[in-house]
Amino acid sequence: MSVTVLIGLQWGDEGKGKMSHYLAADHDVGVRFNGGPNAGHTIRFGENKIVTHLVPSTALYNKPSVLTPGVLIDRGVLTEELFHLSELGFSKSNLLIDPSCALITESFKSQDIGSGKKIDTTGRGIGPTMAAQINRTGVRIGEALSMNNNALDGWFCRTVQYIRNAIRDGKRVLCEGAQGHYLDLWHGTYPFVTSSMCTIGAVCTNAGIPPQKIDRVVGVFKAYCTRVGNGPFLTEMSNFDDKAKRIAERGKEIGATTGRPRRIGWLDLIDLREAVRFNGVTELALTKSDVLEDILTRVAFDRPNGKPHYLSYLWRKASLEDRDFRSFVNYVEEFTGVPVRYISTGPLTEETLDREKDNGTETIYNTEGKSRCNSQPYRRASF
Ligand code: IMP
Ligand code: MG
């Protein structure tokens, strides 16, 4: 039995696509349990690049890939995505869709484009589709498509039962979250949030996985923050700031779904720690620290009068051999109380360090805030 959940700890776009693809190699079944085509997971490996919106990244290993209730489906987006995935070797018999998934209709999409301006939504019909679900007037994909005798029919499956059996049979299940903690309908920066749940509980309520079955929660965060769309952003930098421009350019901070430029800001450790605690994160995955090479980085650690206080770091190379980078990683671990197990060192899936596997004794991990010496072995947090 083993269930891993991957959750974004900021406002989405933390690099979940890449991390999910990395972790999928060691899992047998992939599950999407929230969001819809508003998500855009960019995955690059070897010469390949794909942006997925609905299907979990296990599809790229041609493993069973499940969409559970809680995922909102746009048929056009799904069809196109399946076409691209099949070119990369995904066989459609490995796609499993719950008939209870809500269907995004054309009318929901046009309503969203009309009413989503204040929030600056992705225009994918998420809000109106969820509103209809809650009003009990929504359209469920199973009913809608079986009436049309559609080809998708063959892929329908009671996913809750399927996942339960997979866990019982010792399969390793990877639940790939979409969006991020601060876009959660209830716990995010309301009303500037998405219309579904992006936090840990959605794994239980949507995918039907009992909480005791979840073994690992991998929280993904970037070495800085971005936000696409409107809403509060305490550590935001001005658009005109040269550093923000460099980060946007080097980090290719353009929305994967909508092409909108993302707003840029510094890493906020107070928000990060809250997201870690809330979601019961057991290990962290740090992404895009290479983008900040040679940029005097700032990290917010306090906000006495609502204004962030910063510590600065300047690393030459985002490698644990670099002393300044190491002290940054250490500080994050001390502050959040959770080990930074994965470090992404570039956009490709291959460019990932797993400190538990790759160099388990060399690095420092210290949540007590005592020693920062190099001799302390990396170890997992215990809860
Ligand atoms: P909606 O999800 O399209 O309703 O958009 C609501 C807010 O969430 C907007 O600010 C979007 O930009 C943001 N959002 C939704 N999905 C994502 C995502 O996958 N990454 C980043 N931002 C997102
Ligand atoms: Mg994205």
pLDDT in tens, 38-59: 999 999 999 999 999 999 999 9
CA 7/CA 225 separation, integer angstroms = 15
Q: Tokens 């609502």 sit at which residue?
A: 306
Residue 368: predicted pLDDT: 41
Give the three-class secondary structure for 299.
Answer: strand
pLDDT in tens, 264-315: 999 999 999 999 999 999 999 999 999 999 999 999 999 999 999 999 999 9
Q: Tokens 């794909």 sit at which residue?
A: 50
- Tell me if residue 74 is catalytic: no
What confidence category does residue 259 fall into, taking pLDDT thresholds of 50, 70 and 90? confident
The amino acid present at 9, given as its one-letter code, is: L
Paired strand residues for 222: 287
Residue 359: predicted pLDDT: 61
- Residue among 202, 188, 160, 221 at smallest CA distance from 34: 202
Minimum-distance ligand to the CA of 260?
1
pTM, to two decimals: 0.92
Q: Which residue CA neighbors atom 12 of ligand 1 most closely?
A: 229
Q: Distance of CA 232 to CAs 119, 122, 229, Å? A: 11, 17, 10
User: Angle at which helices 106-115 and 126-135 pack, to 10 degrees?
Assistant: 110
- Tell me if residue 181 is catalytic: no
Residue 258: predicted pLDDT: 86
Inter-residue contact 335 to 9 (CB < 8 Å): no
- Residue among 34, 48, 33 at smallest CA distance from 18: 48
CA 80/CA 58 separation, integer angstroms = 17
Sequence-distant (6+) residues with CB within 8 A of 108 are 125, 128, 129, 132
Question: Which of 72, 228, 253, 257 most suits a substitution to test ligand 1, by most atoms within 8 Å of the C-beta?
Answer: 228
| Alpha carbons within 13 A on the beta-carbon side of 369 | 5
CA 194/CA 182 separation, integer angstroms = 9
CA 82/CA 59 separation, integer angstroms = 9
Q: Distance of CA 105 to CAs 29, 40, 115, 141, 148, Å? A: 28, 19, 16, 10, 14
The gap between the terminal CA atoms of the chain, to the nearest Å, is: 19
Minimum-distance ligand to the CA of 119?
1
Range with lowest mean pLDDT among 99-103, 121-125, 140-144: 140-144
